[in-house]
A and B are shown apart, each in its own frame.
Chain A
């Protein structure tokens, strides 16, 4: 089955949409991405839509859904690379993507994600705390 690739980059996932998306492909991406967030414990998703020459209300809803689902799974989403003509059309269509963070390009998107998930070392602290608890609980027995 046709799929949009999801690349791991440290604590983040990078999704670059380069094909003209038909509806089923968009639905598959939603489920693939949420699976990957849970498997990898990713803290952020960078969604690069520079390859999309239109975003209609269906795709807009998919982008908003991805951001909402990721947030519930403790990962931030930043949408990057929207073409100017797409931005103009989206606003006239009436789609403003509330709750979706955007950045102009991948580089700025990465900066935004790093900042949003900063306080790093936090993950390691949580891991240590969990290991400590495990060790503590198992030692008496």
Chain B
């Protein structure tokens, strides 16, 4: 998959969540996504950045602009070195939370994008990749 541009952002405080939102908005606009699709991927990014911070104790967000023939997309990868998720299916259930939140972060983010991939190893960390195509 040809990556035409990429950028790595650190996730260390709640201010970094705001920074990720701004950057994803800018990239989504540059890609030519419509307002609803921009809003969806920015919202998904906000959920996943908060997860990496809250459960993973911080991590990174990687932004990638993709071009596959005439198709353009935005791929975001959130990575942390936290405790990982033992039961991914359970974590993906609407309403399931271990933090007193609403339990919509992972399942909601998945509904907001075209592609969603999660890999987690207990004791090593979690990586979530989402893609929105134009």
Is A24 in contact with B111, judged by CB distance below 8 angstroms? Answer: no
CA–CA, A57 and B112, complex, Å? 13
Could you say which residues of chain A place their CB within 8 Å of the CB of B124?
Answer: none
Q: Chain B interface residue count: which class? A: 20 to 34
Q: Are A92 and B104 in contact (CB under 8 A)?
A: no
Shortest CB-to-CB span from B96 to chain A, Å, is 12
Q: Contact between B22 and A89 (Cβ–Cβ < 8 Å)?
A: no
Residues from chain B with Cβ under 8 Å of A61 in the complex: 101-102
Q: Does B6 contact A (CB under 8 A)?
A: no
Q: B15 at interface (Cβ–Cβ under 8 A)? A: yes
- Complex alpha-carbon distance, A104 and B75, angstroms: 34
- What sequence of 0s and 1s flags, for each residue 11-31 of chain B, a beta carbon within 8 Å of any chain A beta carbon? 000110110011001000000
* Interface 0/1 of B26-59, CB less than 8 Å to A: 0000000001101110110011001000000000
Asked if B107 is an interface residue, CB under 8 A from chain A, the answer is yes
Cα–Cα, bound, A114→B72 (Å): 50
Does chain A have a CB within 8 A of B115? no
Which of A's residues lie within 8 Å of B, judged by CB?
20-24, 53-58, 60-61, 83-86, 88-89, 92-95
